[in-house]
């Protein structure tokens, strides 16, 4: 059978709770159509609720405890194969269009070409002065600690960057290509800054219900989570949700454009096709006064994942837990390629062809090393295990602060059942224990921190290669809003890389 052309559209920081087909709180007609015409996985989790660890785990199909990558200041080694290598061997041209958040000299990791640059720093040394010049006051709003300071409708680097990425994909799909294609289109939205177009911001400000924002902090939230809270006014919290919804609707339009162009491309070639949409992690968007990712709550850890195309069941919904680690193994199956010898992912092919549920025994694992080294904070290792409808969360060093939720009965995670279900807790705690040792994780992280320091030392002694970072943000998209609920910006606001002067 001829190899299908494959296009993966990957966004950044899109929780599945903000979709039309799942959350019913934002207009996503193209995602709704994709779900109706394909198979959607309603309980897909990220292996780490942080960009680089999640993406490197997805690329390698290995959990973070196997890659040793837990922070954004890290990357896969050149000799670590990714899910792309078997596809290249099988004859595919593997094309990266936009964002993947690679760090360092190797900006490919199995992609045979790149047709649009990344927008986050691609070097070990963060080009702070350049970022200040190119993003203005918005430089603060790319981190969760500063995201709430500029909120509203206007222009932003994210909006312009994603337009460039999508246009590059459309241009590429208008061309003729000889080999079977694996194209990954990586956008930055709906990642903050919480800025959308003025029209969409006003549209969703009229929809957002203030009464559902800023829930009271539940008594089971541990010290790791409490230190991440950002207490803002209800108007600002409402504005963050409105802007986030607007960013998602903008992205949905782009998904529609790319999917239409991809289908026209495959019709012209006479090939079968597979289209997949997913994200790397979600966003709390103010829930429990938390913004961004870095938690194991559903809005941070759960993402959309939908497949559609030739031979894929239409209107099919899989409710059993899955992981974005499953992307690679599933694509190997669809392409008929070899597999990597070691993988923590699962081939979902049977479910794409109509199978209903898993056997109920699969455990979905996620982990997080919380803490900012550059700010002198200690690391706190957290782990999550999901089996069926139960989710168990534990942070090393915070005994007595574990959490257990029944996601089916309590999707908002308001009732910690750690005392009511001791047998389930014991079973899931054992699943964590057999996978990782917190002390070993911290030992490996210390080695990776030293490696990153050495990479920066080399860049300081030579020259930082910033050539694969998009730097064309216009002056009009550096902080001025047409409409918004901006809070005062302080130069003393701490960010992961320290204060900005």
> Is the pLDDT score of 489 beyond 60?
no
Give the per-residue pLDDT at 234. Answer: 87
Q: Are strands 273-279 and 305-309 parallel, antiparallel or unpaired?
A: antiparallel
Measured distance CA(395)–CA(129) in Å, rounded: 36
pLDDT digits (tens, 9 = 90+) for 348-372: 999 999 887 766 689 999 999 988 7
Give the per-residue pLDDT at 214. Answer: 58
Does residue 59 belong to any structural domain of this protein? yes
3-state secondary structure of 406: strand
Give the per-residue pLDDT at 215. Answer: 65
Q: With cut-offs at 50, 70 and 90, classify the pLDDT of residue 376.
A: confident
Q: What CATH number did the domain enclosing 68 receive?
A: 3.40.720.10
Give the per-residue pLDDT at 486. Answer: 66
Q: Are strands 152-154 and 195-196 parallel, antiparallel or unpaired?
A: parallel
Average pLDDT over residues 380-389: 95
Does residue 180 belong to any structural domain of this protein? yes
Does residue 31 belong to any structural domain of this protein? yes
Query: 500 and 139 in contact (C-beta within 8 Å)?
Result: yes
> Is the pLDDT score of 65 beyond 90?
yes
pLDDT digits (tens, 9 = 90+) for 181-238: 999 999 999 999 999 999 999 999 999 987 666 566 788 888 888 888 888 888 999 9
Does residue 386 belong to any structural domain of this protein? no
Q: Which of 202, 159, 407 is nearest to 296 (CA)?
A: 407
Measured distance CA(321)–CA(306) in Å, rounded: 14
Q: Where are the alpha helices (DSSP H) in 405-501?
A: 422-435, 438-461
CB neighbours (10 Å) of residue 467? 10
Q: Where are the alpha helices (DSSP H) in 90-188?
A: 128-135, 157-174
Weakest-pLDDT range from 288-292, 457-461, 477-481, 483-487: 483-487
Measured distance CA(63)–CA(325) in Å, rounded: 8
Return the percentage of the chain with pLDDT > 90, whole number: 83
Q: With cut-offs at 50, 70 and 90, classify the pLDDT of residue 498.
A: very low
Query: 255 and 163 in contact (C-beta within 8 Å)?
Result: no
Average pLDDT over residues 316-329: 96
Does residue 56 belong to any structural domain of this protein? yes
> Is the pLDDT score of 314 beyond 90?
yes
> Is the pLDDT score of 58 beyond 90?
yes
Which of the pair, 315 or 24, is modelled with greater confidence? 315
Which of the pair, 38 or 399, is modelled with greater confidence? 38
Weakest-pLDDT range from 182-186, 315-319, 413-417, 496-500: 496-500
Give the per-residue pLDDT at 145. Answer: 85
Return the percentage of the chain with pLDDT > 70, whole number: 94
Full residue range of the structural domain in which residue 183 is found: 5-361+466-484
- Provide the whole-model pTM: 0.96
Q: What angle do CA 130, 131, 133 make, to 5 degrees?
A: 65
Token readout for 429 is 């705690």
Give the per-residue pLDDT at 501. Answer: 33
Give the per-residue pLDDT at 487. Answer: 61
Mean pLDDT of the chain: 93
Q: With cut-offs at 50, 70 and 90, classify the pLDDT of residue 497.
A: very low
Which of the pair, 266 or 497, is modelled with greater confidence? 266
Token readout for 212 is 């559902």
Does residue 369 belong to any structural domain of this protein? no
Give the per-residue pLDDT at 228. Answer: 84
Give the per-residue pLDDT at 212. Answer: 67
> Is the pLDDT score of 374 beyond 60?
yes
Measured distance CA(329)–CA(455) in Å, rounded: 32
3-state secondary structure of 372: coil
> Is the pLDDT score of 499 beyond 50?
no
Give the per-residue pLDDT at 294. Answer: 95
What is the tally of structural domains in the chain? 1
> Is the pLDDT score of 1 beyond 60?
no
Query: 82 and 328 in contact (C-beta within 8 Å)?
Result: yes
């Amino acid at each position: 059978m001829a190899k299908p052309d494959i296009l993966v559209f990957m966004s950044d920081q899109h929780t599945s709770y903000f979709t039309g087909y799942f959350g019913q709180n934002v207009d996503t007609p193209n995602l709704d159509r994709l779900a109706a015409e394909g198979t959607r996985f309603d309980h897909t989790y990220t292996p780490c609720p942080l960009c680089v660890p999640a993406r490197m785990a997805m690329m390698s199909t290995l959990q973070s405890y196997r890659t040793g990558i837990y922070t954004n200041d890290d990357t896969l080694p050149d000799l670590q194969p990714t899910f792309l290598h078997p596809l290249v061997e099988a004859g595919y041209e593997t094309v990266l269009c936009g964002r993947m958040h690679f760090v360092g000299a190797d900006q490919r990791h199995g992609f045979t070409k790149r047709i649009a640059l990344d927008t986050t720093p691609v070097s070990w040394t963060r080009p702070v002065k350049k970022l200040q010049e190119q993003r203005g006051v918005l430089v603060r709003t790319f981190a969760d600690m500063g995201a709430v300071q500029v909120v509203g409708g206007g222009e932003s680097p994210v909006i312009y960057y994603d337009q460039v990425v999508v246009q590059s994909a459309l241009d590429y799909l208008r061309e003729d290509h000889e080999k079977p294609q694996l194209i990954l289109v990586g956008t930055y939205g709906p990642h903050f800054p919480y800025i959308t177009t003025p029209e969409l911001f006003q549209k969703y400000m009229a929809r957002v219900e203030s009464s559902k924002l800023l829930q009271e902090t539940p008594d089971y939230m541990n010290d790791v989570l409490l230190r991440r809270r950002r207490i803002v006014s209800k108007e600002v919290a409402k504005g963050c949700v409105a802007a986030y919804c607007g960013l998602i609707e903008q992205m949905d339009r782009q998904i529609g454009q790319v999917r239409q162009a991809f289908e026209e491309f495959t019709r012209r070639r006479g090939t079968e096709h597979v289209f997949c949409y997913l994200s790397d992690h979600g966003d709390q968007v103010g829930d429990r006064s938390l913004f961004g990712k870095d938690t194991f709550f559903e809005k941070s850890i759960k993402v959309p994942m939908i497949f559609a195309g030739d031979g894929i069941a239409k209107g099919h919904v899989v409710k059993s837990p899955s992981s974005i680690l499953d992307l690679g193994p599933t694509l190997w199956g669809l392409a008929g390629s070899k597999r990597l010898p070691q993988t923590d992912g699962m081939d979902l092919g049977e479910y794409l062809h109509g199978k209903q549920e898993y056997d109920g025994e699969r455990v979905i694992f996620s982990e997080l090393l919380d803490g900012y080294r550059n700010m002198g904070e200690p690391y706190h290792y957290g782990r999550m295990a999901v089996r069926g409808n139960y989710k168990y969360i534990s942070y090393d060093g915070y005994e007595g602060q574990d959490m257990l939720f029944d996601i089916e009965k309590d999707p908002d995670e308001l009732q910690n059942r750690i005392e009511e279900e001791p047998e389930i807790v014991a079973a899931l705690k054992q699943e964590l224990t057999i996978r990782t040792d917190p002390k070993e994780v911290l030992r490996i992280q210390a080695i990776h921190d030293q490696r990153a320091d050495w990479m920066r030392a080399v860049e300081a002694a030579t020259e930082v290669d910033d050539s694969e970072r998009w730097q064309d943000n216009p002056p009009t998209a550096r902080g001025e809003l047409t409409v918004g609920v901006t809070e005062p910006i302080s130069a003393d606001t701490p960010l992961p890389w320290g204060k900005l002067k």
